[in-house]
Structure 1
Amino acid sequence: MASRDQFQRFIFEHSQVRGAWVQLGESYREIGSQAPYPDSVRQLLGESLVASVLMSSSLKFEGTLSLQAQGEGPVRTLMAECSHDRYIRGLARFDEHSMAEESFEALLGEGRMAITITPDKGQRYQGVVPREESSLAGCLEDYFDRSEQIATSLFLFADDNCAAGLMLQRLPGHTEEDDDLWERVNHLARTVEAGELLELDSTTLLYRLFNEETVRLFDSEPVAFRCSCSRERTEKALEAIGKDECYSILEEQGSIEMDCQFCHAHYRFDRNDIDHLFTGHTLH
């Protein structure tokens, strides 16, 4: 039985070619259960979650990497996020009345995709790439080519219960031998089938694909769903709304109710809470 909710890096020995593999099971199902997603939207969300984990392997600091897309098709918003310690969350907003076609292009329509890297300490970086390719993997390969100048190949799959992916990258400083290796392993990787990525463990898959190469597989890392929302973060959102607006909502509704869009955690703030937030003490 294949391992689930695991991420692993690997390298081709004595070369500038590296890779990463991920499988999601319980974490993917938990995120997918947060809304009544049609199969095609759920699978697109699964591919996005897989991609966020694979791309987060390049993070060299504590923080998060997120993929975000606004669509003109049935899927209005797509978002997947992975932290440096492999906690993931994600969502999709969609118009159930216009779910006709199921291709990537049909679901999202024209537009752009943003990749945002947010360190816990430091400045946020965002790269934007047009959605000119016919798949999510193609768009993200385009992002790496344009923004990072790193040749990248991505293979992303998801079904109802599992999502999985494989990433290959050729790093700067590659030699002619690395270029030959890159062509060879890409040719082999393109033979991978969805069932293999979704069902096989990493050791079996990589041996099946690259048994004539010398591959070093690093220790696996667990992946899990965890939302980063909290009452403190919600308070900061209220501060951003502003004192006047918060008190206006209180006058109209008696309290301020806020739900997390990722995990549906519910936060309620009464007048005492808002008094304390903006004055440092309660008035009632």
Structure 2
Amino acid sequence: MDTLQRFLFENAAVRGELVEISETWHQVQARAAYPAPVRRLLGEMLAAAALLTANLKFNGMVVMQMHGDGPVKLLVVECDSELHMRATAKLAEEAVIPGEATLTQLVNAGGHGRFVITLDPKDKLPGQQPYQGIVPLDGDSVAVVIENYMLRSEQLDTRLWLAADEKVARGLLLQKLPGEGGSGAQVADTAETWNHTVTLASTLRREEMLATDINTLLRRLFWEETIRVFEPRHPRFQCSCSREKVGNMLRLLGKEEIDAALADLGKLAINCDFCGQHYEFDKVDCAQLFAAENPSDAMQQAGTARH
């Protein structure tokens, strides 16, 4: 079972999380065959998204994206407050992926890559829009990119260790708790304890992460520390696509563009990039999409399409 374990250092202003994702990761990979370097990046993003989402007091969806001008055009992971997750990647046509390609080579080859985090509340207030943070793709690993984002956008000292292969995605997050002021000695002590926990975690290597379950990792890394462990949580794969959402997407394209596509194709076929679910919309279906905008025209088109 996929597991996320939160913990708190009793004698240090530091919190942490460990996550292990295998079942969800297998579900993601079952939808597409990614080259090994792409698979590694997407798996690391999956682990990172679970770690960041579990830290937020937020009811909604966290969407994490990396997009750029390399052979990989987009990496995207979505995770909601219940740790329901989905992920996908888009490659350029006829993309050539070297076996040891780095994040920079894959996504940021021309230096125009961007890292985007979107917080989309589930129950929006009137007029409320999703929050979106966009920064340059600063770093040559998923962990470093996210660390730089957190420091720049959230002013939070955050460290991440991530690893993924075809079997499992694991991650460790440490975060310095926000300070409440205090004397110079207290500030120095906070910095010292933070540096100490980061030093301990920095002994962790990718191969060890991939080979070791998170409970063992927690004991192995921090066996000398006093740690409070919380009730574990369990990420799982769940796609939020639906026929209604696909219809809303088609409506946004506009009636003129939809009519032109129907004239060429007869019907519209859409597959969900995340789960592979297939949706079809014929002339009657598409006429109904625009019924609320112009009911009389929609009814006339629907009647014509049925004859």
1:154 pairs with 2:160: yes
1:21, 1:32 → 2: CA distance? Answer: 22
Q: 1:99 aligns with which of 97, 100, 125?
A: 97
CA contact (8 A) 1:23 1:198 kept: no
* 177, 188, 197: which one aligns with 2:209: 197
Match of 1:178 among 185, 190, 196: 190
1:221 partner SS: coil
Structure-to-structure mapping, 1:116-155, within 5 angstroms: 116-122=118-124, 123-155=129-161
Residues 129 and 139 in structure 1, CA contact (< 8 A), matched pair in contact too: no
Q: Which residue of 2 aligns with 1:83?
A: 80
Task: Please tell me whether residue 230 in structure 1 is matched to residue 227 in structure 2.
Answer: no
Aligned partner of 1:28 in structure 2 is: 25
Contact residue 47 and residue 156 of structure 1 kept, 8 A: yes
Q: Which residue of 2 aligns with 1:69?
A: 66
- The alignment's TM-score, normalised by the length of structure 2, stands at 0.86
Based on CA coordinates, which of the two structures has the bigger radius of gyration? Answer: 2
Secondary structure, counterpart of 2:160 in structure 1: strand
1:255 maps to amino acid: K
User: Separation in 2 of the partners of 1:213 and 1:277?
Assistant: 59
1:52-67 matches, within 5 Å, as 52-67=49-64
Q: Secondary structure at the match of 2:290?
A: helix
- What is the alpha-carbon distance in structure 2 between the residues aligned to residue 72 and residue 272 of structure 1? 39
Identical positions, percent: 40
RMSD: 1.7
Deviation at 1:21, TM superposition (A): 0.9
TM-score (norm 1): 0.93
- Decide whether the 8 Å contact of 2:13 with 2:194 is kept in 1: no
Q: Do the aligned partners of 1:8 and 1:22 also contact (CA within 8 Å) in 2?
A: yes
Segments of structure 1 that go 5 or more residues without pairing to the other structure are: none
What is the SS of the residue equivalent to 1:115?
Answer: strand
**Aligned partners of 1:274, 1:98: CA distance in 2, in Å?**
38
Q: 1:62 to 1:247 in 2, by over 3 A?
A: same
SS of residue in 2 equivalent to 1:106:
helix
Mapped to 2, the partners of 1:97 and 1:143 lie a distance apart of 28
Whole-angstrom distance in 1 between the partners of 2:55 and 2:101: 31
CA deviations over 1:52-84 (Å, ceiling 9, x no partner): 111112322221112111122221111111111
What one-letter code is carried by the residue in structure 1 that aligns with 2:225? E
**Partners in 1 of 2:172 and 2:149 — Cα distance?**
17
CA distance in 2 between counterparts of 1:76 and 1:274 reads 30
CA distance in 1, matches of 2:72, 2:95: 11
Offset of residue 16 of structure 1: 2.5
Partner of 2:117: 115
Counterpart CA distance in 2 for 1:116 and 1:50 is 17
* Structure 1 counterpart of 2:183: none
Is the Cα–Cα contact under 8 Å of residues 62 and 119 in structure 2 kept in the other structure?
A: yes
CA distances 1:157-203 after superposition (whole Å, capped 9, x unpaired): 01121110000000211643332211111000000122432343333
Misfit runs of 4+, over 6 Å: none
Distance 1:132 1:276 in 2: 45
**Distance in 2 between residues matched to 1:186 and 1:229, nearest whole Å:** 39
- 1:102-157 deviations in Å (ceiling 9; x for gaps): 11211112222111111112331111222232211111100010000000000000
Matching residue's letter, 1:203: N
Superposition deviation, residue 14 in structure 1: 4.8
